[in-house]
Structure 1
Amino acid sequence: MAALIFLGFASGLPFYLTSTTLQAWMTKANVDLTTIGVFSLVGLPYSLKFLWAPLLDRYVPPFLGRRRGWLIIAQLLLLVAIAAMSLHDPAVGLRALAFNALLIAFLSATQDVAGDAYRTDVLHHREMGAGAAIWVLGYRIALLLTGSLAFVLADRMPWPTVYLILSSLMLVGVIASVMAPEPSLEDAPPRTLAEAVVLPFNEFFTRSGLLRGLLVLLFIVLYKYSDSLVIVMGTPFLLQAGYTQTEIGVIRGGAGLIATIIGVLAGGALLAKIGINRSLWIVAVLQAVSNLGYYLLALTDQSRTWLLAVIVIENFITGLAAAALLAFLMLMCNKRVSATQFALLSSLVAVSRDLLTAPSGGLAAATGWPLFFLISIAAGLPALLMLPFIAPWGGDTPIGAAAHSGETASDAT
């Protein structure tokens, strides 16, 4: 369990280095905005990681086992790839820079696949909430370092030096991977690559049943939809309501970030106290109700106090939801093929975040902000109505959940 915060840290470390931080470096190097915008495509591997996830289920490295072996391979290569960014100059070598950034994103996505599978396999089902919270805490700390500390360092030294320093932090993950226990596997991993591709689907629908399995997939898409609508349109609303960019940035980046971290930890404690099923119910209700804060902001005059309260509550509940949904996804994955199953299930979360929210701007323009936020509250009802068929209030684990004993290789011997 203790290793998860360090592995979560290693998972979060590369993320901003190919997006926010890289964009800042390119801006300082006077790269045009169109090119900077196109560079966002280097993050595509994060959305496509399920395509090569079966490789991590099928093949076992000759050292440290199936999960830790892939982790340390990705981490060592990331250390080198991030350090190699120090050799580039955005002003004169954009193609080489783009290739290096794309390589970092690919290796980072691969580390995420291995890390998600490790976390899923090593935890007992009663530890899922706490494990998810610890992992996300480490991830958020890494984002804070690469999103804040990197900018502070860049005012005092060249960007290439900053990337060289940040690359050394990948050693945190390398050490954690070496020291962490390897999850045990009672059944053999997939025998062929074809089996590694087909088995995740067959096993999931055999375990859950076809209709319930499809319901679970729809539930994953819709569970955070209410929250996602507000996340996407929250900033445009606040700016149109007259709040300054400084007010929004300071409150979200300060109190909001702290509230998210506290929410994640509280989510882990909640899951440990009352179980995953009841936690999913409570968080589903809170996600919808929290949008009432934005509805009230839309009806009242500007108030920094109200703005602070609304953002803190929103981010706290976002943290709760992150812990609950992460634990649910892990419970729905079989250890034989957890890398592929988790990559596929987590990609459905992106459908809600990126695709279903696409019409939200047009909806807000057509309805006005107060009615939009009421609609966002109603958007939480479908997932809530599905819960009796997926995670009954009185149940210990969701229906169709895979077995998770939390046994490691050292326990087996």
Structure 2
Amino acid sequence: MLREQALDAMTREGDRRDRRDRGDRRGARSAREHRDLADARTAAELRELQRAGRRARLHADGAFHDDVHRVAGVALAEDHVALVEAHHEAAREQVLSPCVVERLEEMAPQDDRLHVALERILLRTIEEAATARDARGTTIHHAARAYQLPRPRWDARLVIDRARVRSPLLLLACLYVVQGLPYGFQASALSAYLRSEGVSLSAIGFAGALAAPWMLKVLWAPLVDRYGSARFGRRRSWIVPMQALLAMACLVAAVFPPERALGALLATVFAMNLFAATMDVAVDGLAVDVLRERELGHGNAVQVVGFKAGMLIGGGLLLWASRWIGWQGHFVAMAALVVLALVLTLLTPEPGARRAPGDDAKESTPAHTSMRQVLGTLHRAVSRAGAGWLLVLVATYKLGESLIDPMFSPFLVDRGFAREDLGLWLGTWGMAASIAGSVAGGWLATHVEITRALRVAGALRAVPLAIVVALATLSTFGAPVVIATTIAEHFFGGMLTTTMFAFMMSRVDREVGASHFTLLATVEVLGKSPLSLASGWLAERAGYVGIFGVGLAISVVWAAMVGAVAKKA
């Protein structure tokens, strides 16, 4: 009996130990499961945060945190917030699709630093995704989910949004081509036409006064800076009307051949220059508005190349083709090109333009006060230290060629070369070389310190001018020599012009960009105009050798002094 009780007690004790052991094992297993679950949850959260951080591209400006949740809890440094606030509006206009803009407008006030920062992150994400070669737009959809935004469809809107980032250079190139058409006709074709009709060298030289609007445009440049339509575009509201008027002037010039109505033709050419010069003010302002500091070299290359391409067409190709299409065909073709550029301007939204200062519906500041502010800022810009040296440098860099270039075409006509051949050599091949030189000048201004670039371009510019002086001393020379000299002269001239324009734009006060740059461009024209107008009169008295020699000497002196003067400007 006792043994049975002892066995029973031992059995119960064993059962209790078994149950305790099983409980301990179950508890341990439960604890392990809890720890594993917590670790799994933590790992999942970390992975999700990492994915969110990658999707949000928080490293956009090199100063953001590693995930969205930490950004929400940490105040950003003041300098980074300033950077974000300075760029988010321009980035929104150039990158975001409409549905994203609507969503961002529903967010908290834009003075909240956190939301401004998140908006900048999203802008960078969408911009990078738009440049990626992913036809499904995966990155954009991930970014939209991360911020609970509507999923933008991968359609034409994204293509347009990205194109708006690239379109300024294309639009600027087309606009400068249009501006170069009438100037090229006057500079190359008109002098050949007039000399072949027996017009004196003095009259041909003074015909340069038809370019007076390019000298006087600074007088109405503040009006272009001040007034404009917010709905249509601050700059487009000037560019489009000037294009329309220029096209009509070209059609009018088609009915006035020089042998029958020279006075009416010259008046029409003056009107063409007036419309093109006014458009140039607005286009320069547009360039200052949309080009960033590191884009100035390429932007000025586009500026100079586009303008000289217009000169090539207006004063070279069309003059050469006039033996088949005639006088009327010359100007009808010019009008057609202007109309094409007008259509492109109407189809291209003005980059970064939401509001013009002169919008009557929304402007509360009186016009005379705003104009006074513009003029005051312009006065400060030209009164700062070094501004006088800058004006001297700009006014003198083309003095030498202003004596040589206007008389080079009449010089070749007097040596027996046909005006149609001159149109091909000077107006086409020469302008093509000038465009190539402008591209080289853009590269030079971008990759070489600007003062050194000016010295190099100025020295190279003097070489072909010395060859022109040598040609004037020869009794006979052939077409190959003329073509080679023309190509060299225009190439190095284009290089110098682009480098100088980049130098000018680097010194512009962006608050009044159009007015300030127009003032510098006007000083350039004013500097070379007196000698250009008097070049024919001087050639009749000093001869071609004398006037070409003086032009070469001036160019050599400028190349020698440019380094010292540019450092003071």
> Which TM-score band (shorter chain)?
0.7 to 0.9
Residues 309 and 332 (structure 1), Cα distance of their counterparts in 2 relative to 1, 3 Å cut: same
Structure 2 residue matching 1:245: 3-state secondary structure: coil
Give 2:380's aligned amino acid: N
In the alignment, which residue of structure 2 is the partner of 1:317? 492
Cα distance between partner residues in 2 of 1:154 and 1:320: 30
- Identity among equivalent positions (%) equals 25
Residues 384 and 66 (structure 1), Cα distance of their counterparts in 2 relative to 1, 3 Å cut: farther
- Figure out how many residues of one structure are paired with residues of the other and give that number: 384
Residues 75 and 294 (structure 1), Cα distance of their counterparts in 2 relative to 1, 3 Å cut: closer
Residues 228 and 92 (structure 1), Cα distance of their counterparts in 2 relative to 1, 3 Å cut: closer
Stretch deviating more after TM superposition (256-265 or 163-172): 163-172
In the alignment, which residue of structure 1 is the partner of 2:440? 266
Q: Is the 8 A contact 1:58 1:193 kept in 2?
A: yes
Cα distance between partner residues in 1 of 2:181 and 2:446: 28
Match of residue 381, structure 2, among 181, 203, 208: 203
Deviation at 1:283, TM superposition (A): 0.9
Cα deviation code 1:314-356 (max 9, x no counterpart): 2211111111122222222222222222222112222332224
Cα distance between partner residues in 2 of 1:27 and 1:296: 23
Q: Is the 8 A contact 2:185 2:311 kept in 1?
A: no
Deviation at 1:369, TM superposition (A): 3.8
Stretch deviating more after TM superposition (65-74 or 369-378): 369-378
Q: Is the 8 A contact 2:402 2:528 kept in 1?
A: yes
Structure 2 residue matching 1:13: 3-state secondary structure: helix
Deviation at 1:218, TM superposition (A): 0.8
Deviation at 1:183, TM superposition (A): 4.9
Stretch deviating more after TM superposition (338-347 or 12-21): 12-21
Residues 364 and 221 (structure 1), Cα distance of their counterparts in 2 relative to 1, 3 Å cut: farther
Deviation at 1:154, TM superposition (A): 5.6
In the alignment, which residue of structure 1 is the partner of 2:339? 171
Q: Is the 8 A contact 1:227 1:288 kept in 2?
A: no
Deviation at 1:381, TM superposition (A): 2.8
Residues 128 and 27 (structure 1), Cα distance of their counterparts in 2 relative to 1, 3 Å cut: same
Q: Is the 8 A contact 1:137 1:261 kept in 2?
A: yes
Structure 1 residue matching 2:235: 3-state secondary structure: helix
User: How do 1:317-356 and structure 2 match up within 5 A?
Assistant: 317-356=492-531
Cα deviation code 1:238-259 (max 9, x no counterpart): 688xx54349836434543332
Q: Is the 8 A contact 1:266 1:320 kept in 2?
A: yes
Give 2:175's aligned amino acid: L
Residues 363 and 170 (structure 1), Cα distance of their counterparts in 2 relative to 1, 3 Å cut: closer
So what's the TM-score if we normalise by structure 1?
Answer: 0.73
In the alignment, which residue of structure 1 is the partner of 2:219? 51
Stretch deviating more after TM superposition (360-369 or 54-63): 360-369
Give 1:380's aligned amino acid: V
Cα deviation code 1:381-405 (max 9, x no counterpart): 346435335348xxxxxx6xxxxxx
In the alignment, which residue of structure 2 is the partner of 1:387? 563
Deviation at 1:167, TM superposition (A): 2.1
Answering whether residue 182 of structure 2 is matched by residue 6 of structure 1, we say: no
Q: Is the 8 A contact 1:264 1:320 kept in 2?
A: yes
User: How do 1:252-331 and structure 2 match up within 5 A?
Assistant: 252-253=426-427, 255-297=429-471, 302-304=476-478, 306-331=481-506
Cα deviation code 1:47-81 (max 9, x no counterpart): 32111111001112233432233212322333344
Deviation at 1:202, TM superposition (A): 1.9
Q: Is the 8 A contact 1:222 1:380 kept in 2?
A: no
Q: Is the 8 A contact 1:6 1:173 kept in 2?
A: yes
Cα distance between partner residues in 1 of 2:544 and 2:187: 32
Match of residue 552, structure 2, among 373, 376, 390: 376
Q: Is the 8 A contact 1:251 1:308 kept in 2?
A: yes
RCO higher in structure (CA 8 A, sep ≥6) = 1
Cα distance between partner residues in 1 of 2:469 and 2:330: 42
Point out the structure with max Rg over C-alpha.
Answer: 2
Cα distance between partner residues in 1 of 2:408 and 2:261: 37
Cα deviation code 1:235-289 (max 9, x no counterpart): 577688xx54349836434543332221111111222222433211211222234
Give 1:202's aligned amino acid: R
Match of residue 60, structure 1, among 209, 225, 228: 228
Structure 1 residue matching 2:217: 3-state secondary structure: helix
Residues 252 and 147 (structure 1), Cα distance of their counterparts in 2 relative to 1, 3 Å cut: closer
Residues 19 and 203 (structure 1), Cα distance of their counterparts in 2 relative to 1, 3 Å cut: closer
Structure 1 residue matching 2:351: 3-state secondary structure: coil
Give 2:513's aligned amino acid: S
Unaligned 5+ segments in structure 1 are: 393-398, 400-413
Q: Is the 8 A contact 2:243 2:342 kept in 1?
A: yes
CA RMSD, Structure 1 to Structure 2 (Å) = 4.5
In the alignment, which residue of structure 2 is the partner of 1:116? 284
Residues 124 and 56 (structure 1), Cα distance of their counterparts in 2 relative to 1, 3 Å cut: same
Q: Is the 8 A contact 1:3 1:180 kept in 2?
A: no
Structure 2 residue matching 1:380: 3-state secondary structure: helix
Cα distance between partner residues in 1 of 2:382 and 2:247: 35
Give 2:306's aligned amino acid: G
Stretch deviating more after TM superposition (166-175 or 46-55): 166-175
Cα distance between partner residues in 2 of 1:109 and 1:375: 27
Structure 2 residue matching 1:349: 3-state secondary structure: helix
Give 2:566's aligned amino acid: I
Cα distance between partner residues in 2 of 1:314 and 1:280: 16
Residues 61 and 23 (structure 1), Cα distance of their counterparts in 2 relative to 1, 3 Å cut: farther
So what's the TM-score if we normalise by structure 2?
Answer: 0.56
Deviation at 1:42, TM superposition (A): 5.1
Residues 373 and 265 (structure 1), Cα distance of their counterparts in 2 relative to 1, 3 Å cut: same
Residues 166 and 351 (structure 1), Cα distance of their counterparts in 2 relative to 1, 3 Å cut: closer
Give 1:282's aligned amino acid: V
Deviation at 1:233, TM superposition (A): 5.3
Deviation at 1:111, TM superposition (A): 0.7
In the alignment, which residue of structure 2 is the partner of 1:223? 397
Residues 221 and 383 (structure 1), Cα distance of their counterparts in 2 relative to 1, 3 Å cut: farther
Cα distance between partner residues in 2 of 1:313 and 1:255: 10
Q: Is the 8 A contact 1:67 1:182 kept in 2?
A: no
Cα deviation code 1:86-134 (max 9, x no counterpart): 6779999888877655543322221111112222332223322222222
Give 2:556's aligned amino acid: G
Cα distance between partner residues in 1 of 2:370 and 2:566: 32
Match of residue 143, structure 1, among 296, 300, 311: 311
